[in-house]
Structure 1
Amino acid sequence: MTFHLHFTGQVQGVGFRPFVWQLARLMKLQGAVSNGADGVHIYINTDSATAQLFLSRVQAEAPRLARIQSVALSEVAPVYYTDFAIVTSQITGQASLLLTPDLALCEACRAEMADSVDRRFGYAFTTCTHCGPRYSILHQLPYDRQTTTMSAFGMCTDCEREYHDPANRRFYAQTNSCPNCPVELRLFSASGQQLANHQDEIIDYVADALGAGQTVAIKGIGGYLLLCDATNANAITQLRKRKHRPTKPLAVLYPNVATLQQDCYLADDERALLTGSVSPIVLLDQRPNPASKVAVDKLAPGLSQLGVMLPYAPLLALLANKFNKPLVATSGNVSGSPICYTNEQALEQLPAIADLILTHNRAIVVPQDDSVVRLSPAYRQPIVLRRSRGLAPTVVYSPKKKESGAGDEVNTTTVLAFGASLKSTFACQLRGNIYVSQYIGDLESYDTQTSFRATLDHFLKLFDATPDLILADQHEGYFSTQLAHELATIWGIPIQLVQHHEAHLAAVLAENGLTGDEPILGVIWDGTGYGTDGQIWGGEFIAYQNSVFNRVCHFDYFDSLLEDKMPREPRLSALSLAHNIPGADTILRVKFTDKEWHLYSKLPELSNEVVGCLWPMSSPITHASVNGSHAAVWPMRAHATGKNRLKTSSVGRLFDAVTALLGLADQVSYEGEAALLLETHAARYVRAKGYTGVQSYLPDVTTQIPTRAVVEGVVRDIQAGQSTDQIAAAFHYTLVQVVAALAQQTGIRQLAFSGGVFQNALLVDWLRHKLEPAHKLYFHHQLSPNDECISFGQIAHYALTTPLPVQSKTETTYVLSHSR
């Protein structure tokens, strides 16, 4: 008897075939294993009971980095095998597997690089089946050497032997190379002159340049990085000036854990993140007197945390160990532009920033920035700030809408979602999987728009896919929405627009597997999102149950001033919210020149009337039939609408206002700067005194969220001489009280949080401290709460609200991409 086993998921590029070969040999089975466009295929000659045992062992003992998504076992026409072999991959059929992300340098390869008698001693491109580039070098599926940029490199005799040796961890390692068949480095000056081409000479040259205060651009896994001495304030200032990045935090590369621990506090879970297969940038608390003398004030101005990483690629390890001090390691681009990833781009664009440019001849197909993660201090809640290298674009589980009595089902509609404008990503529901692209950037520059198009085009070609439906944000001014309309016309397919904050909520619901059988209250707070009433939303409470989203409440609207200028100048938010509050003009006046004050002070409306706020009038939930579905409904009170001026309910802008009133930032140079500064001061208070000693600024009311009253409380405390730390903490506590009040008012126990505001680790902890266990709180854990999750949320929204064509899928197991 011959049996066929078909495994789908993240099963290519993780040593799956060598593992299967070894297990089959151990069980004395004859057959074959190969990669296919739709996963891994195994054929074995055996009886039914042994086939089932083999299947169970593959599932239980699979490589650590494998993510088995589905398994199919069937008897096929008999084929006689004389042994068990890895055979040539089959490229036929539709691609439907997970894409393996780039994997950080493993400990075995790291040890070889440090072993003076090993062939790969000091080799800058050491990899094996457990580590190295994957997604970033992939031209087409399946994942084999000939379909990657490694196809240009032949293997020497020793590498060939390893590649075909089942006992070697490089057995079928597609990225295998060594100093005898190397990926080659080249070092250039800013003027384009080649300075060196021998690896050891280059490493020494670069280390000397870094020691002399120079900036060096080096080609990493997903693109170029800019390095300079993190202990040299002048070098950092020069880099900031050249990169046009005046205050945004810069990541720091440490040579090893021991050096890092002398500068930052490092918990076991943070260490696990830094040394794992993803090896992202992790935000860590700074020690008061860092031993390395790292220039913290220049690296993260006004903040108490550093974004740090360890060498995740062999080249970075060699440079970091040689320099033996912390290095700035930031994306190789001018601020606002996408990361450079080709040698041609680097030599053309980076001489304006870097003194030296270090290239190599292994091409990058898909550019990626480094992923960024933080953990909340008390509850250790993981918060993804940027999802890219090491995380993208593996699948994220989404609940599939089922009909009564249906079995396991999978959507057959190919849906492409275009996300938002800031923190852009795209997502695709395709052949039973959902893929979410890496962070691409803010779609406000032509270069980033071009990068978005190129990344999307590569993805669709990789899977030979054309969507049946396009989803986009309702904001017609977004480039992503405009591109969605353009491609929908070209492809002749329908397009549906999804409200921004409903997409946020759908994303966190889907990521947590929530179907809405019981009511869920979404707390969606961010900076900007187009609302269905034509206003700017950002302080929303949206209920979800039985396929219906219902905006039940929001922060009071206030004037949105000067369009895109407002997010860049927190003083404008302060002016909008605090104008005419007794004593506030004294605080506000110093933030503007005479000419500005004469103009700007006339901008806010003088009326204090409440505008367009909705609040539940009664806590009991009633139910009504909406399009045949039962939905949670609350009676609403609508307040008077003021003058015809663009309004916002944004909690992001509320953070800006409080930050400016406290004198922490009147103007900012990067998104979220004001909120980070405010969180830093509040966290300092909480570290000293815990969640006590502060009063809420929320009045004892039950019919509205009075945004202006919160600001009035802040102004009163400033006038009373309260410390900045205490006021910042009281503001955070007020936001927690707002959620608690609304949860009590609606009687909903399940609360789901999304939006950029929930990158705030202190706020997340305080919410859990206040509301658990009486309420069940759900947060993102593998997607970012910021607008990166919008594309996934658009697909989840469609799945949660629309009956979809489905087909049965047997023996399917869904997993999260970063968990076993």
Structure 2
Amino acid sequence: MTFHLHLTGQVQGVGFRPFVWQLARSMKLKGTVSNGADGVHIYVNADLQTVRVLTRRIRAEAPALARIQSVKLAEVEPIDFGDFTIVESQAVGQASLLLTPDLALCDACRAEISDPANRRFGYAFTTCTHCGPRYSILRRLPYDRPTTTMAPFGMCADCEREYHDPSNRRFYAQTNSCPNCLVELSLFLASGQCITRDQSNIIQQSIDVLASGRTIAVKGIGGFLLLCDATNADAIHQLRERKHRPTKPLAVLYPNIDQLQQDCFLADDERALLTSPASPIVALDKRPELPSGLVADQIAPGLNQLGVMLPYTPLLALLADAFGKPLVATSGNRSGSPICYTNEQALDQLSAVADLIVTHNRDIVVPQDDSVVRLSPVFRQPIILRRSRGLAPTVMMTDIPHSNANVLALGASLKSTFAWQLRGNTYVSQYLGDLESYDTQTSFRATLDHFLTLFDAKPDAVLADQHEGYFSTQLAHELANIWGIPLVSIQHHEAHLAAVLAENKLMEQAEPVLGVIWDGTGYGTDGQIWGGEFIKYQHGGFERVGHFAYFDALLGDKMPREPRLSALSLAFNIPGADELLRPKFTEKEWNLYTKVGVQNKLKTSSVGRLFDAVAALLGLADKVSYEGEAALLLESCAARYVRVNGYTTSQHYLPETLLKAQVPTQAIVAGVVNDLQAGLPVGQIAATFHYTLVQAVAAVARQMGVQQLAFSGGVFQNALLVDWLRYELEPAYQLHFHQQLSPNDECISFGQIAQYTLITTNTVHVKTETAHVLSHSR
């Protein structure tokens, strides 16, 4: 008897075929295993009972990085196999496969590049079946060397032997190479002149430049990184000036975890994140003393935490080890542009930033920034700030109904992603930046085109935000027209809520859930700017049941860049606020902006702008250079107070009762102003403001009579707020946060798909206050 097992999920690029080969041989079975466009295929000669044992063992013993979604077993026409072998992959059938993310340098490969007796000593592209690039080098499916950018590199005799040796961890490692069949480094001056291709010379010259206080650009897995000495204030200042990034936090690359934990407090769960195959940047509390000499105030001005990472590629490990001190490691791009990922882009765009540029000749197909994660200090709630290298693009879970739908969602504008529900799998792209520049829009299109090529499919419907001014919405109209398919518009904050509901498997439960959706901006169905929303979900329907009271949205995109405008909007009519506000403006600005406020018709309920207002009133930020800066400074200020005093305050700025679940925004600001006038410490006021927001959630939840609360929106990147919500509201309420996705607008595309399934499925009755525009393409 011959049986066919078809396995789907994340089963390529994780050593799955060698694992099956070894397992089958240990069971004395004969047959084959191969990759296909739709997963892994196993043919085996055995009786049914033996095949079932094989299936159970595959599920139980699969490689750590594998994620098996399904195993289909069928008897087929008998085939007489002489042995069990790995056979050449067949690119037949419809592509239906979870894409394996890029994997960080494993311990075994790191040991080899550090061992003078090993033939890969100092080799910058050492990989095995457990580590190395995957998603970023994939041109087509299935995942095999000929379908990746490793195709041009032939293997030497030694690598070939490893590749075919079942006892070797490089057995069928598609990225395998060594100094005898090397991926080649090149070192360029900023002028574009290539000065050497000798690897050891490149490492040494790079270290010399870093030690002299200058900057180098280095090609990583997902694109170029800019490196400079993190202990040299002048070097950091120069990098900031060249990159036009005056205050935004910079990530720090430590050579090893021992040096890192001398500068930062490191818990076991944070260590696990840093050393995981994803190897993201992790936000850690810095210690009072920094033995490395790190210039923390220049790296993360005004903040309590540092974003730190460990070397996740052999090249970064070689550089970090040789330098011996922490390095600033920030995305290789011009401010506001996507990360450079081709050698040509780097030589063109980074020559004004970097003094040396280190390239190599293995192409990157899919550019990606580094992922960024933090954990809340008390409850250890994971919060993904940016989901990219190591985490994207596959999403495992969820309880989205209608899982066989084929639908493409193009997300929002800030923190853009797209999502595709296809053949039972869900893909959410890596973070693709803010779609306000032509370069970012071009990158968004290119990544989408790559997905369309990988899966050789087009969607049956395309989804977009209701804001017609977004590039993503305009692109959705364009694609719907080209493909002749329907376009469905999804309200921004409903998409946020749908995303967190689907992640927590709450979409099909009968019990009501109160969505608490707070962010900076989202187009509301009443034509105003929403951002402080309470949305009730039940029986597949969404109903906006409350919100923060509207206030004037002043001067368009200028308002989020200047927190003083939010302070002016909210505090202008509060007695005694003039003395706080006037010094923030020139006389000309004051006269102009106060007149604008009188004539203004556009309103907002944004909690993001409320954070801005409070931060400005407390003197933390009148103008900002990056999105969310004022909120981060306010959180840091409050966190310092809470660290000393605990979650003990009983003071807040709310009235005793809320009318119709409307939070009185101006009353909150009035409380802040009164406390400032009373001379209370700024940290105490910042903490009281956070506690006020917690009490606002509690008050609305009581009014709605719900026990389940779900949180989404960029405001919930605030770890102090997340912890305080859990501290105050659990266990009386069940709180649900994002698990695999960021609460910011990166989750919108996934939420659009989750919301669409509710619109189209017949299993639930959809009742929604906000209209969903379902139209054929224009």
Query: What letter matches 2:159 in structure 1?
Result: C
**Alignment partner, residue 234 of structure 2:** 234
C-alpha distance in 1 between matches for 2:652 and 2:597:
26
Shift of 1:709: 0.3
Describe the SS at the equivalent of 1:722: coil
* Alignment check: 8 A CA contact 2:649 2:691 kept: no
Describe the SS at the equivalent of 1:24: helix
Alignment of 1:270-669 (within 5 A): 270-401=270-401, 411-515=403-507, 516-605=509-598, 645-669=601-625
Alignment match of 1:670 (pick from 609, 623, 626): 626
* Alignment check: 8 A CA contact 1:398 1:796 kept: no
Deviations 1:693-751 (A, max 9, x none): 35110111230311000000000000000111000000000000000111111110000
Deviations 1:122-161 (A, max 9, x none): 1100000000000000000000000000001000000000
* Alignment check: 8 A CA contact 1:223 1:339 kept: yes
**Alignment partner, residue 653 of structure 2:** 697
Shift of 1:400: 3.7
Alignment match of 1:687 (pick from 639, 643, 660): 643
Alignment of 1:126-165 (within 5 A): 126-165=126-165
Describe the SS at the equivalent of 1:363: coil
C-alpha distance in 1 between matches for 2:165 and 2:649:
66
C-alpha distance in 1 between matches for 2:350 and 2:373:
27
Shift of 1:803: 1.2
**Alignment partner, residue 769 of structure 2:** none
* Alignment check: 8 A CA contact 1:252 1:307 kept: yes
Describe the SS at the equivalent of 1:85: strand
Shift of 1:802: 2.1
* Alignment check: 8 A CA contact 1:694 1:726 kept: no
Normalised by the size of structure 1, how large is the TM-score?
0.92
**Alignment partner, residue 10 of structure 1:** 10
Describe the SS at the equivalent of 2:21: helix
Shift of 1:22: 0.1
**Alignment partner, residue 619 of structure 1:** none
Describe the SS at the equivalent of 2:521: strand
Alignment of 1:179-194 (within 5 A): 179-194=179-194
Query: What letter matches 2:663 in structure 1?
Result: I
C-alpha distance in 2 between matches for 1:753 and 1:705:
17
C-alpha distance in 1 between matches for 2:657 and 2:268:
44
Describe the SS at the equivalent of 1:149: coil
Runs of 4+ with deviation above 6 angstroms = none
**Alignment partner, residue 202 of structure 1:** 202
C-alpha distance in 2 between matches for 1:702 and 1:156:
73
Q: Which sits farther off after the overlay, 698-707 or 259-268?
A: 698-707
Shift of 1:548: 0.6
* Alignment check: 8 A CA contact 1:413 1:805 kept: no
Shift of 1:411: 3.3
C-alpha distance in 2 between matches for 1:446 and 1:49:
59
Shift of 1:193: 1.2
Alignment of 1:97-108 (within 5 A): 97-108=97-108
C-alpha distance in 1 between matches for 2:597 and 2:674:
20
C-alpha distance in 1 between matches for 2:481 and 2:518:
33
Deviations 1:329-374 (A, max 9, x none): 0000001000000001011111011111000000000000000000
C-alpha distance in 1 between matches for 2:749 and 2:499:
8
Alignment match of 2:687 (pick from 725, 729, 750): 729
Query: What letter matches 1:646 in structure 2?
Result: L
Shift of 1:603: 2.8
Describe the SS at the equivalent of 1:590: helix
Q: Which sits farther off after the overlay, 593-602 or 336-345?
A: 593-602
Shift of 1:804: 6.6
Residue segments in structure 2 that go unaligned for 5+ positions in a row = 765-778
Query: What letter matches 1:669 in structure 2?
Result: S
Give the aligned length. Answer: 761
Describe the SS at the equivalent of 2:436: coil
C-alpha distance in 2 between matches for 1:60 and 1:521:
38
C-alpha distance in 2 between matches for 1:69 and 1:693:
47
**Alignment partner, residue 29 of structure 2:** 29
**Alignment partner, residue 639 of structure 1:** none
* Alignment check: 8 A CA contact 1:232 1:295 kept: yes
Whether 1:717 and 2:684 are equivalent positions in the alignment is no
C-alpha distance in 1 between matches for 2:111 and 2:600:
67
Whether 1:738 and 2:696 are equivalent positions in the alignment is yes
Alignment match of 2:739 (pick from 773, 781, 793): 781
**Alignment partner, residue 625 of structure 1:** none
* Alignment check: 8 A CA contact 2:14 2:63 kept: yes
Describe the SS at the equivalent of 1:188: strand
Query: What letter matches 2:165 in structure 1?
Result: D
Describe the SS at the equivalent of 1:495: strand
Query: What letter matches 1:320 in structure 2?
Result: A
C-alpha distance in 2 between matches for 1:34 and 1:357:
40
Describe the SS at the equivalent of 1:453: helix
Shift of 1:242: 0.7
* Alignment check: 8 A CA contact 1:399 1:799 kept: no
Alignment of 1:35-46 (within 5 A): 35-46=35-46
Describe the SS at the equivalent of 1:231: coil
Deviations 1:755-775 (A, max 9, x none): 000000000000000110111
Describe the SS at the equivalent of 2:217: strand
Describe the SS at the equivalent of 1:604: helix
Deviations 1:492-522 (A, max 9, x none): 1000000000000000000111124210000
Query: What letter matches 1:763 in structure 2?
Result: L
C-alpha distance in 2 between matches for 1:548 and 1:289:
53
C-alpha distance in 2 between matches for 1:684 and 1:304:
8
* Alignment check: 8 A CA contact 2:139 2:454 kept: yes
Query: What letter matches 2:725 in structure 1?
Result: L
Shift of 1:805: 11
Deviations 1:455-511 (A, max 9, x none): 000011000010110000000000000000011001110000000000000000001
* Alignment check: 8 A CA contact 2:400 2:502 kept: no
Describe the SS at the equivalent of 2:179: coil
Deviations 1:188-234 (A, max 9, x none): 00001112111111100000000001110000000000000001111
C-alpha distance in 1 between matches for 2:511 and 2:591:
53
Query: What letter matches 2:266 in structure 1?
Result: L
C-alpha distance in 1 between matches for 2:62 and 2:278:
19
CA RMSD of aligned residues (A): 1.1
C-alpha distance in 1 between matches for 2:636 and 2:516:
22
Deviations 1:651-671 (A, max 9, x none): 000000000000000000101
Shift of 1:801: 3.1
Shift of 1:110: 0.7
* Alignment check: 8 A CA contact 2:635 2:686 kept: yes
Shift of 1:674: 0.4
Residue segments in structure 1 that go unaligned for 5+ positions in a row = 402-409, 606-642, 807-820
Shift of 1:115: 1.2
**Alignment partner, residue 772 of structure 2:** none
* Alignment check: 8 A CA contact 1:505 1:793 kept: yes
